[in-house]
Structure 1
């Protein structure tokens, strides 16, 4: 009886019986070469089934479901990488699930091509003590990411090595003057493949003039892994000014010191890198300026020097402080600094739309500080900043160079602060101007030091008032060049007359952005630095005395007739189209 029943069980479950069945009759583990383009799953069945688990390189080439026996075609995309790819497919039915594993091998690794040294050129004899090494990029047949190792030696026996992902390396150390050096570059693909360039030799000169595009390391960050770059460009500096230790070097050093010679930048200096990028102009000065020695003051309307960044002063008014420059070229030179060349080059069109790296708030170009030092004596200064965060501060080398830089770059550029002075002749804001103010306030972190209300229970610096430790912070009418309808937090500040003092809410705005960028939150629009933490590190100068409220610079005797307040920032909305 047992034997009969066993025979009946086998019959009822066989392919000819009434019971449902689904079987995979092809291999349940299929292994293909890297260049395979198709495969098949053979299914024997008498009931509903379907195949799932496909991915981007293993896709169906025929029906993936049925009720009877069938062959399911697999369309395979050749594997260009080195790693084995695996797809876990499933043949599903009421009977159960049958797993099918599809494996595709990787391609054999092909080493990258050897890089080709370009500068310093072989047997060059006029190489600077801090050269920029450049080479032609290697190519990789597998599409692997290539990294480079630069090797430098004096004897071809002992080599110093420097790693980079770029096709250039700014040599931060100083080579010995008059010495002969050898260099080569090795390209690596990360999978054991590598290729090395020929060895190239050069001799360091004894008399050094900085070259076009040279990146000078002024200060290197020692604290934060997300250092904020301050990038100094020079306009109106001729070759004679570009010697090591010369006019441009001293101007860049003065700009560095001025930027940090005020709180809270002074206390957070170690969160910044400072670089200077060299560019030679054909003539000194700025367009419509007074000349590098002030001699062109009476002829400023016809003074048109040929300069690298085309810095231009306002022509119509000898006392105007407005300026402009070639923004696109400034961004291009700033991106020569190591780590800055991320994303596409910054461009604009005649309609004023901006493209490239500047459209991404998290891009380094939107989270650095660009200073254009102009070799001209005319008193002026303007900062242009973009809604995405980028800024360019233009500062001539007048006798008010340092305070101008603090106001334009430290105030407007980095912290997006508004001007706090007022003109009796400026009318109150229109509805359209209020809407623009509120847009920049909300979307671009601007105007943290100005308010359109004097209600202390809702004003944006309410935390200072509630704290009790800042009795100087209230609401004083006058700001954004207007005597009415705009309030500032304290009676005096750098944003009024360029003095070496930022008021409390301005210091918070500066520290907030320093902490945001140095903590890796550049693209985080929701980041907030707590006021309680700010108060712990705030360095308020107790010796700064608040004078009477400035109703307008025109009636306040503290401003020299030749030193009116600096012009309003140029605000470029590149986030809306």
Structure 2
């Protein structure tokens, strides 16, 4: 009996200890507070120490902050927090770092001190179509040698030097008359001296000049949300593509302008191989969207609220939920597998794709590609950028093959590799090993000896740490069509969505005739080319 009592007591103690050990905790060093302050300069960093008895992950909500490492195990851990950019906003900015274990979350506020700045009196300046002289006023504590001013738009000229007294200054400009129907935009970009117009701006002033149609507002919305069938699939189950425009008024619907743009966008989408040869697998629709104003931007009332960041950036934002609503105007559409293409009514150079609607265990193919009528409806850039954004990113889930910044962070590599497990990003890799790189089969295949297939460093917008399969392609400088690994990824995607099966390498090679290994247009990089903004990974489910 005594032995049983002892065993029972020991079991009770063991259970109590075990329960205590199973309770997750996150303890910060006694000298630490739940906040960290970084200096205003680029690469300013601090460390943060904590302990936990569980595996953990770290995430943040700011594009100017990096955290390393982003995951770990139990025990004492030290994070390094680094400001990737100088804080040029004119005020301190904050981000939230979240530490997560099995059942706990600990939030730490990260503050970056204010640094050098330029503060505009007005971010957007509106000018009548007659034009005239204007002044762009700003304040700064910097001396003139510390910053530079760049402008876009040949119709915007600078008359004399910028003038300042103490902290207040202005730039004198002359705006030429606008004889066109559409309004137009130009940018005044303030960057650090020596960085050039593509540098991280202190501020960007937007100059908007009215056109002949700027003051007109739509009155007839009867055509809104009507659906036009451009093509019905004759092979497979039908992969849906839905085209729509933003910033088109009722008169542009009535006179055929809207349909003309949609028809050209439709033609452009199927102008590159292998999609050209696989077009019979697609259902293609055009949904009419009647906006109140002609043109796009924050100052226009449009269906999808399309907004171009400008100032050297190609980022486009819009009301993605409104886009989804118009997609569903197509009766019975399979929205999870739909590619939505929005054509903003502007000729500006821009383009952005949004995807990642779901979780890694339940990811949809739904994507939204925004591409303006770059340089006009018949321009080569409108065609190639639409293929890059809509077919490359939106449908094929390919990544960018160009580079314009340093080394790819390890956490971004891990995220990309996770997406590769579900068939995304098949045109990039993170090794230069010829035996294990994703496109290794092409490297040793004599049938592709005439193609530029290799392992080239620079991809995913990063110069180091990521590799692409060809020196040039439509996913790089918008020329030379899709390279062989990208064509394979597109072919595989069509077979998966259109026929519900996985394609083999040899099947693809048999399909990939010599005609699909070349392109008939765009062999020279356009003088207007600039690398585009990276596709935006939404990382949330589609709303019902």
Q: TM-score range by the shorter chain?
A: 0.5 to 0.7
> Post-superposition shift, 1:330?
0.7
Check if 1:229 corresponds to 2:240. Answer: yes
Report the Cα distance in structure 2 between the residues aligned to 1:536 and 1:485, rounded to whole angstroms: 33
Would the aligned equivalents of 1:216 and 1:276 in 2 still touch at CA under 8 Å? yes
Secondary structure in structure 1 of the residue aligned to 2:252: helix
> Post-superposition shift, 1:575?
6.1
Would the aligned equivalents of 1:264 and 1:539 in 2 still touch at CA under 8 Å? no
Report the Cα distance in structure 2 between the residues aligned to 1:266 and 1:513, rounded to whole angstroms: 14
> Post-superposition shift, 1:210?
6.2
- Residue 395 (structure 2) aligned to one of 414, 429, 443: 414
- The Cα offsets for residues 43-88 of structure 1, whole Å up to 9 and x where unpaired, read as xxxxxxxxxxxxxxxxxxxxxxxxxxxxxxxxxxxxxxxxxxxxxx
Q: Could you tell me which residue of structure 1 aligns to residue 441 of structure 2?
A: 463
Change (3 A) 1:543 1:413: closer
- Correspondence 1:333-412 to 2 at 5 A: 333-340=326-333, 364-386=334-356, 387-399=363-375, 400-412=381-393
- The Cα offsets for residues 287-323 of structure 1, whole Å up to 9 and x where unpaired, read as 16xxxxxxxxxxxxxxx11100111111xx4221001
Check if 1:268 corresponds to 2:278. Answer: yes
Q: What TM-score do you get using the length of structure 2 for normalisation?
A: 0.54
Secondary structure in structure 2 of the residue aligned to 1:457: coil
Report the Cα distance in structure 2 between the residues aligned to 1:500 and 1:407, rounded to whole angstroms: 11
Q: Could you tell me which residue of structure 2 aligns to residue 122 of structure 1?
A: none
Report the Cα distance in structure 2 between the residues aligned to 1:575 and 1:538, rounded to whole angstroms: 35
Q: Could you tell me which residue of structure 2 aligns to residue 311 of structure 1?
A: 306
Report the Cα distance in structure 2 between the residues aligned to 1:220 and 1:450, rounded to whole angstroms: 33
Change (3 A) 1:500 1:543: closer
Change (3 A) 1:558 1:229: closer
- Residue 529 (structure 1) aligned to one of 487, 498, 503: 503
- Correspondence 1:189-228 to 2 at 5 A: 211-224=223-236, 226-228=237-239
Would the aligned equivalents of 2:221 and 2:290 in 1 still touch at CA under 8 Å? no
Report the Cα distance in structure 2 between the residues aligned to 1:264 and 1:543, rounded to whole angstroms: 10
Secondary structure in structure 2 of the residue aligned to 1:370: strand
Secondary structure in structure 1 of the residue aligned to 2:244: strand
Check if 1:332 corresponds to 2:322. Answer: no
Report the Cα distance in structure 1 between the residues aligned to 2:505 and 2:238, rounded to whole angstroms: 22
> Post-superposition shift, 1:454?
0.9
- The Cα offsets for residues 6-50 of structure 1, whole Å up to 9 and x where unpaired, read as xxxxxxxxxxxxxxxxxxxxxxxxxxxxxxxxxxxxxxxxxxxxx
Secondary structure in structure 2 of the residue aligned to 1:494: coil
- The Cα offsets for residues 163-205 of structure 1, whole Å up to 9 and x where unpaired, read as xxxxxxxxxxxxxxxxxxxxxxxxxxxxxxxxxxxxxxxxxxx
Q: Could you tell me which residue of structure 1 aligns to residue 412 of structure 2?
A: 433
- Correspondence 1:498-513 to 2 at 5 A: 498-499=478-479, 501-513=481-493
Secondary structure in structure 1 of the residue aligned to 2:448: coil
Q: What TM-score do you get using the length of structure 1 for normalisation?
A: 0.51
Report the Cα distance in structure 1 between the residues aligned to 2:459 and 2:243, rounded to whole angstroms: 29
Would the aligned equivalents of 1:370 and 1:391 in 2 still touch at CA under 8 Å? yes
Would the aligned equivalents of 1:384 and 1:570 in 2 still touch at CA under 8 Å? yes
- Residue 531 (structure 2) aligned to one of 557, 560, 565: 565
Would the aligned equivalents of 2:478 and 2:525 in 1 still touch at CA under 8 Å? no
Secondary structure in structure 2 of the residue aligned to 1:233: strand
**Which protein shows a greater Rg?**
1
- Correspondence 1:42-53 to 2 at 5 A: none
- The Cα offsets for residues 72-105 of structure 1, whole Å up to 9 and x where unpaired, read as xxxxxxxxxxxxxxxxxxxxxxxxxxxxxxxxxx
Secondary structure in structure 2 of the residue aligned to 1:217: strand
* Unpaired segments ≥5 residues, structure 2: 1-219, 357-362, 376-380
Would the aligned equivalents of 1:209 and 1:242 in 2 still touch at CA under 8 Å? no
> Post-superposition shift, 1:495?
0.3
Report the Cα distance in structure 2 between the residues aligned to 1:503 and 1:539, rounded to whole angstroms: 13
> Post-superposition shift, 1:499?
2.1
Check if 1:493 corresponds to 2:473. Answer: yes
Change (3 A) 1:421 1:559: farther
- Correspondence 1:9-20 to 2 at 5 A: none
Change (3 A) 1:574 1:532: same
After superposing on structure 2, the runs of 4+ consecutive aligned residues of structure 1 that deviate more than 6 Å are none
Would the aligned equivalents of 2:481 and 2:518 in 1 still touch at CA under 8 Å? no
> Post-superposition shift, 1:368?
1.6
> Post-superposition shift, 1:465?
2.0
Report the Cα distance in structure 1 between the residues aligned to 2:530 and 2:463, rounded to whole angstroms: 16
Q: Could you tell me which residue of structure 2 aligns to residue 240 of structure 1?
A: 251
CA RMSD of aligned residues (A): 2.4
Secondary structure in structure 2 of the residue aligned to 1:473: coil
Secondary structure in structure 1 of the residue aligned to 2:350: coil
Change (3 A) 1:248 1:210: farther
- Residue 314 (structure 2) aligned to one of 315, 321, 324: 321
Would the aligned equivalents of 1:252 and 1:276 in 2 still touch at CA under 8 Å? yes
